[in-house]
Structure 1
Amino acid sequence: MPAVLLFSYGTLQDPAVQMANFGRLLEGTADQLVGFMRSLVEITDPEVVAESGLTHHPIVRASNDPADRIDGTVFRITEDELVAADAYEVDDYRRVSVKLASGLEAWVYIAA
Structure 2
Amino acid sequence: MAEIWLFSYGTLRQPEVQRTVFGRELDGHFDEIAGYELGEVTITDPAVIATSGSARHPVLLPADRAAGVPGTVFAITPTDLAAADAYEVADYTRVLLPLGSGRQAWVYVLASAAPETTQSR
Q: TM-score range by the shorter chain?
A: over 0.9
Conservation of the 8 A alpha-carbon contact between 1:3 and 1:79: no
The one-letter code sitting in structure 1 at the alignment partner of 2:97 is: V
The one-letter code sitting in structure 1 at the alignment partner of 2:109 is: I
Shift of 1:68: 3.2
1:41-98 Cα shifts (integer Å, max 9, x gaps): 0000000000000110000111132x23110000000000000000000000000000
Superposition map of 1:93-108 within 5 A:
93-108=92-107
Conservation of the 8 A alpha-carbon contact between 1:2 and 1:78: no
Report % sequence identity.
Answer: 50
SS of 1:109's partner is strand
Listed as ranges, the gaps of 5+ residues in structure 2 are 112-121
**Greater RCO (Cα-Cα under 8 Å, separation 6 or more):** 1
Aligned residue for 1:3?
A: 3
SS of 1:87's partner is helix
Aligned residue for 2:12?
A: 12
TM-score, normalised by the number of residues in structure 2 = 0.89
RMSD across aligned positions (CA)? 0.8
Structure with higher strand content: 1
Conservation of the 8 A alpha-carbon contact between 1:6 and 1:108: yes
1:15-46 Cα shifts (integer Å, max 9, x gaps): 01000010010000100011101011000000
Looking at structure 1, the residues matched to 87 and 64 of structure 2 have their Cα atoms a distance apart, in angstroms, of 27
The one-letter code sitting in structure 2 at the alignment partner of 1:105 is: Q
Looking at structure 2, the residues matched to 45 and 6 of structure 1 have their Cα atoms a distance apart, in angstroms, of 22
Question: Which consecutive aligned stretches of 4+ in structure 1 deviate over 2 angstroms post-superposition?
Answer: none
Conservation of the 8 A alpha-carbon contact between 1:97 and 1:106: yes
Superposition map of 1:58-77 within 5 A:
58-65=58-65, 67-77=66-76
TM-score, normalised by the number of residues in structure 1 = 0.96
